[in-house]
A and B are shown apart, each in its own frame.
Chain A
Amino acid sequence: MIRTAWLVLKKDLTVEVRSLEIAYTTLFFAISCVLFFAFALVKEGKAPEDGAAGILWIAIAFGGTLALGRTFERERQSETLRALLMAPADRPAIYIGKLLGIIALLVAAELVLVPLVAFLFQAPLLSHPFWLGAVLLTGTIGFATVGTLFSAMLVRARSRDVLLPVLLYPITVPVIIAGVRATAALLQPDVELAIVQFWVALLIALDVVFLTLALWTFEPLMTD
């Protein structure tokens, strides 16, 4: 299973490095979001309190949705998804490989977004790098876990671009809320680590639940 997941991940990253198609579109969209909010909300050099946390997660969610839509679209275009499903590999391993590729891409986007949001909104996002990393990673895993499953499920749907956010956002609301609250807690002048730890624990619990459900349902969803 690990070997298959690694093969799929390596293949996805190689294709992405060659084309940079998903990376560019995701980053462009996410950075545009941040800039629009910065132009709208930052007045006379003063940013709204706690705004940075929400804007960071909006950019991650919107950019992530774009990336999720494209990752299976690529498999659909040359029907390689059928080839993947016909291979004697465990189908959950294929899902894990695709999921890891999306997580890697979103983490790379976050490496650009975090300093940008910190700069534009004068937010001390980097004052607790370990905890910020934990929040972003656990939140990204939760968001991508559900998104990868829905993206695979909708790959043959005609209106998949519309359906993906419609299905994805309601289910991932708890992840986004926990991510925003944990990030906002990190932006307080006196950071209470107990609050951050609570939200990270919640995010880990959500990740476990979503991942279990996704691994359980991927094979039946992709059959027929």
Chain B
Amino acid sequence: MESENELNSIIFIGTFLMLFLAFGLLFMVLFYQRHLAKIKKRETELLLKTALKSEKKERKRIAKDLHDAIQSDLNAIRNYVVLFSKKNSHPDAPELLEAIHTSLEQTIENTRLISYQLMPPLLETAGFNLALRDYFEQLSTSNGKRFELDINLAETLVSNKISYELFRVVQELTSNMLKHGSISTCTARLNTSSKGVCFELIDNGIPFDFKAEYKLNKGTGLQNIQSRLKSISATLEQETIAKGNHYKIYLFSHL
């Protein structure tokens, strides 16, 4: 009887200790691995933020260079051409110079456009709302589609800290609409909800499931949107509508 009790103790204490050891090992690893994964995630986010920041800086520099150096040089050349055309007496010269003048004008316009797309000057000087209004006006004029702002955007302010990333997201979404969506109208709204400041973009084009396409890793543009939203702690939700797409971007940092 005594030996049976002893055996009982050995078996149960031994088994308990071994199981304790196994569970301890598993929990320790689980806990430590989660901790490591968190650190790694934070590191990746930091890297992403740094990359986006340096990209912004670089865009700014290129836009400034294009505007200050190339565009002023082109302007000077245009002036020389105008002067030359007035003084030259060769019969073919005026026609030739007219052609040079036209292509120079086109180059100047293109440089201005590239410079604008790299870094819209209004974004820095007048803020997100006016830059967006200006961008929508330009899109309406150049593409013949209706891009409109539904409300008075001045009522809700978007801080400069996140305006650049949000503007790039809007640019990406609108260029997708124009390229693949066959839209005729697009409306932007900005309002405050319980979930934070909400930016909405509604179009009447071909329906597009953003999350499903993103999961399938289709297009760098979608990944670009997602990384930019992540860097400003914003989320994108999509609502189902009868025709077209309805995107909602929640800016939690504005709560």
Verify that A and B bind, or say they do not: no
B interface list, Cβ under 8 A from A: none
